[in-house]
Chain A
Amino acid sequence: AQSVAQPEDQVNVAEGNPLTVKCTYSVSGNPYLFWYVQYPNRGLQFLLKYITGDNLVKGSYGFEAEFNKSQTSFHLKKPSALVSDSALYFCAVRVPSGGYQKVTFGTGTKLQVIP
C-alpha cells in the first residue's frame, strides 16, 4: 500500500528557532508528495509539492521541504518559526486508483510555536 507516515503527533518550537516536521513515505514507483496546513476550523491549504527534480522544494510562507530518496523522507522545514505558524500540518501522497488519482494524508502533526 502507498502511504505516508508522520511520526510526531506534536512538535513544540520556540519562536525564531528553526522547525522541522517529519514525514516518511512508502510508495512504489515515483512518489508525488505534498504538504498541507490546516488552521483551526478551516480547510487545508497547499504549502508545497515534490514531483521531480531538485530535492529541496520551496513553498508558501517561507516553508521548504527536503526530499530524501535513500531515507524515504520528505520533512517540512522553516528556518525561523513564527507564532502564526502554529497549526496542524499534513503530509500527503497522490496515488493512482483505478485510472484516477487520489490523495492520501498522513495522520497530521500539530505544530506549536511558543512565544
Chain B
Amino acid sequence: DTEVTQTPKHLVMGMTNKKSLKCEQHMGHRAMYWYKQKAKKPPELMFVYSYEKLSINESVPSRFSPECPNSSLLNLHLHALQPEDSALYLCASSQGGSGHNEKLFFGSGTQLSVL
C-alpha cells in the first residue's frame, strides 16, 4: 500500500463551523505533513509531525489545529475559518529519517470552501 488517503475530498463550511480533515497512511512512514495550496500556486508547508510529535509549525494561525493520534493518522481541526482559508489542503508522508533523499507521498487533497 503506497497511498495516502484523505477525507473528505470536498468540504464546504461556514465561518462559525468546526470541522476536521483526516489523513491516513499505512506505509510505516514516521513523518507526516500538512500543506495548503491555492489555485495555480505551489503547496505551502503548514505543519510537520515527526514520530508523532509536532516538529515544524510554519506560523500557522491557531484556527488550524493539527493532531497526530498515532503514526498512521493525521488530523487537521478547523475552527472559525475565514474565506481566504479556502484552498486545497494536502497531506503528505515520508519515511521520517533525517536523510536528505526522502521523497514525499501526497494524498489527493481536501478542497475546502469557507463561506
Contact = CB atoms under 8 A, between A and B. Distances in A.
Interface of A: 30, 32, 34, 36, 41-46, 49, 51, 88, 90, 94, 97-108, 110
Interface of B: 4, 6, 40-43, 45, 48, 50, 55-56, 90, 92, 98-109, 111
The 7 closest A-B pairs by CB, nearest first: A43-B106, A105-B42, A32-B100, A46-B103, A51-B101, A44-B106, A100-B55
Contacts of B41: 107-108
A67 B40 CA distance: 26
A21 B48 CA distance: 29
Given A42-B108, A46-B105, A99-B55, 13 more contacts: A30-B100, A36-B104, A36-B106, A41-B109, A43-B107, A44-B104, A49-B101, A100-B56, A101-B98, A102-B45, A105-B42, A108-B41, A108-B42
Contacts, number: 64
Nearest to A31: B100
Given A42-B109, A43-B109, A44-B43, A101 B102 contact: yes
Contacts of B109: 41-43
Nearest to B4: A43
Contacts of A106: 42
A105 B43 contact: yes
A41 B104 contact: no
B94 to A, nearest CB: 9
Contact of A43 (B92, B98, B99, B100): B92
